[in-house]
Amino acid sequence: MTMRTKLMLPLLVLVSLLTSAADVEPAREFRGAWMHIIGQTQYANQTTAQNQAYLRAELDKLKANGVNAVIFQVRPQADAAYPSRLEPWSRWLSGTAGVAPKPVWDPLQFMITEAHKRGMELHAWINPYRVTSSKSDKPAVGHIYYKHPEWFIRYADGKIYFDPGLPESRDFIDKVVRDLLKRYDLDAIHMDDYFYPYPVAGKEFGDDKSYAKYGGEMSRDDWRRHNVDLLIEQLHATIMEVKPHVRFGISPFGIWRNKKNDPTGSETDGLQCYDALYADCPLWTHKGWVDYMVPQLYWELEHKRAPTLELMRWWNTQSNGRHMYYGFSITNMMDNRDIAAAGGDTTRASQLYHKLDLMQSLDSVHGLVWWPGYSLTKNYKGVADSLQSTSQVVPALIPAYTWIDDKAPAAVTNVHLSVTKQGKHMLRWQAPVESDPMQQAVRYVIYAWDKTDGGMPNLRDRVWLITGETSVTVPTDMAHCAFAVQAVDRCNNVSNVTFLTTR
């Protein structure tokens, strides 16, 4: 948009007008970023104040790169990146398992508050079964592991896991999720690809006792898949009971099954999450137990055993009416030169645009998640520069979760522009009053355009900002612009648009 520098006349009379929400539908795309704490040393090596400043800066960079959802790891190994009565503090925050950071703070609440201010969603990322992350790692004193050692199995990789075959394991994980839902204003619960552990060649997972007790007539493989299904179904039911506007998302390993083993599988030849991790991912979207899926498509387009070119097309058929986002590895995307297949341009030094163009051409794919978010904020090989100048230059709203709720929120009122004593131009509005949490306005889309361009523009192309606040500072060179504000509810339905005009 053209922004000409003009000062706004202070005595203009401002009024608000409404237009139909159907006439103004912002661009929509899920643009997420994973922020893991496991394996990250910076949090334990920084003070609380330094960590908070660091995370604010990370969120600012992510927002500048078009990210609208942060997937923040809060339970990497049956621990907590927040104060919990159920599990100990994560060692990745303080350096010692069970020891709180000093001074004590709540990283999860901090991230929720800061993300929401910026108009971004916060998804709480948990790992369901893992308890330790190495052979030498030990659960903290007071961990549930010591109270109920019969719930756990030490596998051949040296790590300790909940036994997924036990109802007690599922109930405890459910209790953790229920606690998170009740205490925090989350947008989603998110799980990654770690279900049953990645197999160690020739070594069986030691669940003989639970299989003998609960396996019945099922084969062990089918029983293990059933156990994971039961957990997913139970967590879905808990979310619907406690806070039905909170979504449930899962990021599975990128290959479900190879076509040589299953005619409905993909043209690949790698580890299969269905057989190795006992994750029957398409079933979860088919049953409606999850609201979005993020298969981890971390390989290059032409990978011999797991070509992303093939996997992107295969996963496009598996959304089953739910949202499908693709997880992309930034380093893999930027390290590999483009290929000619399917319209690629071999003169391009990376596969960034090829993957983005293909993703956006698929009819059942609704966005992407960057792995890891830290590579985006560090501008690995210019990825941030590329996104800011091309595909993510205009802010996008996350697609609506209409199967949860499709009712639009009420419109904002009293949109006005004023000048502070310090000479700053402030655009302000009043949020709609709504008692139903589902319809409460939690974000706002702000449209801006140059009034001197003539006529009413297509507002879809004029999204200036998405924010969680009810006021924003307008740069001096935009003070002459026309503005419109649109309310967004918890499921990303949009309201009528309220215009700021002169009379």
410 with 384, same domain? Answer: no
**Last residue of a domain, which of 340, 365, 389?**
389
Q: How many domains in the chain?
A: 2
The CATH number of whichever domain residue 291 belongs to comes to: 3.20.20.80
On whether residue 153 sits in a domain, the answer given is: no
234 with 271, same domain? Answer: yes
Question: Above 60 in pLDDT, residue 14?
Answer: no
Flag the least confident range among 8-22, 136-150, 337-351.
8-22
Alpha helices, H only, 350-410: 352-361, 373-377, 383-389
- Output DSSP code: residue 467: E
pLDDT tens sequence across 450-476: 887 777 788 888 999 999 999 999 999
Q: Which domain holds residue 72?
A: 30-128+164-201+221-389
Question: Above 60 in pLDDT, residue 294?
Answer: yes
Question: Above 90 in pLDDT, residue 13?
Answer: no
Contacts of residue 225, defined as CB under 8 A and 6 or more positions apart, other chains included, come to: 274, 278, 279, 280
236 with 254, same domain? Answer: yes
Q: Assess contact for 286 and 233: CB atoms under 8 A.
A: no
On whether residue 74 sits in a domain, the answer given is: yes
pLDDT tens sequence across 183-236: 999 999 999 999 999 999 999 999 999 999 999 999 999 999 999 999 999 999
Q: Which residues of 8-19 are buried (b: 16+ CB within 10 A; e: fewer)?
A: beeeeeeebeeb
pTM, two decimal places: 0.94
330 with 477, same domain? Answer: no
**Last residue of a domain, which of 338, 360, 389?**
389
Per-residue pLDDT, averaged over 152-162, amounts to 98
The CATH number of whichever domain residue 412 belongs to comes to: 2.60.40.10
Question: Above 60 in pLDDT, residue 260?
Answer: yes
Percent of all residues in the chain with a pLDDT value above 70, rounded to a whole number: 94
Q: pLDDT value at position 23?
A: 62
Q: pLDDT value at position 1?
A: 37
Per-residue pLDDT, averaged over 330-334, amounts to 98
Helices 107-117, 48-64: crossing angle, 10 deg rounding: 30
426 with 383, same domain? Answer: no
Question: Above 80 in pLDDT, residue 21?
Answer: no
pLDDT tens sequence across 381-413: 999 999 988 878 889 999 999 999 999 999 999
Q: pLDDT value at position 501?
A: 64
Q: What is the mean pLDDT of the chain?
A: 93
48 with 175, same domain? Answer: yes
